[in-house]
Structure 1
Amino acid sequence: MSDWSKSTPPDLTAFEALALAARAALPVPYSEAAQAVVLRVEDFAPDRMLAEMGMENPFELTGLYEGIPLTEKSVMDQPFGPDTIWLFRRPILEEWAERGDVPLGDLVAHVLVHELAHHFGWSDADIARIDRWWE
């Protein structure tokens, strides 16, 4: 049995490094395009975001895409800020601990790909080609 008593979960910096590695590991056409999306890592979603989503429990939201999907953008759109993918460390860690059967980096990559799908307008089939999670 391993002694986990001196172990600590990755902090925000280490967690962001997992997310950046996941983005860099995407297949070439996707990894290059994904560089244009801002990546934010926080412990939990801000209260305003939870309220907008109609959520009370901050552990229910592991990630969120904020922006206008590329499939819906128009030259007439006024930018309100950069397209951003938010990853929430504590809910992802909670899911990882509950699952107990996947590496943390794989779960971070899965959440990232799911949020990128919102940005790029990917179908489930598109996601399955990129994210082997569903195999």
Structure 2
Amino acid sequence: MNKIALKYHLALLLMSFVTWGFFVLVGLPDYYQSWSYEAKVIIVILVTIMYIPLAPFLLKKMFPDREYFKNSLWLALYLTVPLFIYDVIFIGWIGGEGLQFIPIYWYLTFFYFSFWVQFPLIGLLMEKNIEDE
């Protein structure tokens, strides 16, 4: 892996940790468990909508090669797998809930999968727009 690629991967890993930390802080003291069902649904919708313009911005900013679909998979990877690992450590091990947290914290689990649909679709649309230019 060349230095430029390593730089982007490290930046994505750092971004995933900062993103996770932000969501933990917003969800204090109990990582959204005290929030009502309706509030959790609203936050899931808002975060999903927030990433519609944020994903193209990140893809353009972090990956200069314009291979948006391929890079959207990297973005999905870094915003799901590390966050899942952080949640396993934070909720599963430290919180003592094991992997039973997955259905209990469904609003987190949603993003472990949805970003694998949302980001590649955005990447495909971005590549289609390049072809249409």
TM class by shorter chain equals 0.3 to 0.5
Higher strand share: 1
Higher helix share: 2
TM-score (norm 2): 0.34
TM-score (norm 1): 0.34
